Amino acid sequence: MTVLSATLEGLAIGRSSNRWLALTILALAQFLVVLDASIVNIALPSLEAGLGLDHNLLTWVITAYVLPFGGLLLLGGRLADRYGHRNVFLAGVFGFIAASLAAGFSINGAMLLAARAVQGASAAMLAPAALALLMQLFPAADGRAKALGLWGAVAGMGSAAGVLLGGVLTAGFGWAAIFFINVPVGLVVLVTIPALVSRDAVKGRARLDLPGAATVTAGIVALVAAFSMVLEAGFGSPITLGLAAVGIVLLALFVLIEMKTSDPLVFFAIFANRSVTLGNTIMLLIGGVTVGLFFVLSLHMQNVLGYDAMKAGISQLPLAIALIVTAGMLSPAIARAGSAKVLAASLVVLAAGVGWLALAPIGADFLVHLLGPSLVIGIGLGGAFIAGTELAVQGVGEADSGLASGLVNTSQQIGGALGLALIFTLATARTIGLGEAGADDIAALGGGYSAAYLGAAGLALLGALIAGLGGRRA
């Protein structure tokens, strides 16, 4: 072991005497964060009926979570760098538990959406802090590769398992159970992390860049809201264009503020690291594919194939298993070929699986038409999450670990919101077109969902192209 490696190992042991157990608990919290972006998908019909939600507002059950999550992640990452990664992580977990309780006890749509927003804001604190703690627990390249492999697997599993658990819990206990399940798991995290991870070292902290935080958060929220409004108002509507313009102006103002302040929220020098830039660009597309795919897949199974919530959830089990198996086998491949090459190959596999799914007929049989695509999608997602996350944090030091972690999560969540808007818009336009051409309701919906799958496959192929070309320069 080299002197540098020994020093890094000593620093890691200083944070935790049992870092693999600490990583497991941190990954459990990350699992909840990703899970809650997808677990509501299967429960949407139950939520619509139980709370009297308008059908056109169903996407906002997801967007209300993703908007504050994506908008506040950069601030959450910098808060963790300033005030301690463990402290901010625990505060985020506490807020997430409280908001989950409120969501489960919701008596109307407004209360549910407010609780979902608080969930998203809390996730924006805990997610970057958790990934930053991982980077500190595993500073050496070999250990970090294995740890990030587990981390990426957990992220992918959260998306896939959300559909599975959503179906089981909704069918067995009602829609409130999908929120209440977070409480006992969150309490385990809240109790065990203080015993497993040491306090952050006390150090001088500069003043937080509040103007930068306000402008970037508001800008991201406005831009994502603009894309979300496309579903209701269309691309050329005044509200969509107005929100987009506000978002662009605010983000431009944010860049100006960051260039002039002495202690910026985002050090743009981090983007001189080509791996960070490339990884975040592709994670934006991965987020779009993942959120859009599972949203449409859940509706497809229930509205076209006639599955109940339980069957729709269990049908996602092969996908989740494929993802887990892939995650466990991928670290050696990344070590040999590099993150960018593995990422490009994984995205091609993902695109093939989603494109295959688009070919499923209206009366699709699961074993004949859906099992194969599900397995291929699971393999592609497992590789994409692991390799994409590792690529996006390569070469980042401890001082900026919270920022790098916030950037990764921001890219994924913003991509999820934008991808959902784009993919669901494709589905809606195709469904309306087929209906006007004389197709019955089921055939029109099926055609719309096929168009959505093709759109998701296109995003995955774009990511593969960027990874393949950009990886040579990174």
Q: Which residue, 275, 333, 335, 289, is CA-closest to 467?
A: 275
Task: Give the model confidence (pLDDT) of 443-472 as tens digits.
Answer: 888 899 999 999 999 999 999 999 888 766
Average pLDDT over residues 432-436: 88
pLDDT over 70 percentage in the chain = 86
Answer yes or no: CATH 1.10.150.450 is held by domain 9-208+265-470. no
The rounded distance, in Å, linking the Cα atoms of 211 and 257 is 7
List the chain domain ranges.
9-208+265-470, 209-264
Task: Give the model confidence (pLDDT) of 286-329 as tens digits.
Answer: 988 988 888 888 788 888 888 877 787 788 788 878 887 887 77
How far, CA to CA in Å, does 255 sit from each of 71, 266, 302, 396, 473?
Answer: 15, 9, 45, 21, 25
Average pLDDT over residues 396-421: 72
pTM above 0.85, yes or no: no
pLDDT of residue 90: 93
Ranked by mean pLDDT, the top range of 4-8, 11-15, 92-96, 206-210 is 92-96
pLDDT of residue 10: 46
How many other β-carbons are positioned within 10 Å of the β-carbon of residue 450? 23
55 with 46: CB under 8 angstroms? no
- Mean pLDDT, the chain, rounded, equals 81
Structure tokens at 61: 């059950």
26 with 130: CB under 8 angstroms? yes
Question: Residue 223, class by beta-carbon neighbours within 10 Å (0-12 exposed, 13-18 middle, 19+ buried)?
Answer: buried
How many other β-carbons are positioned within 10 Å of the β-carbon of residue 188? 13
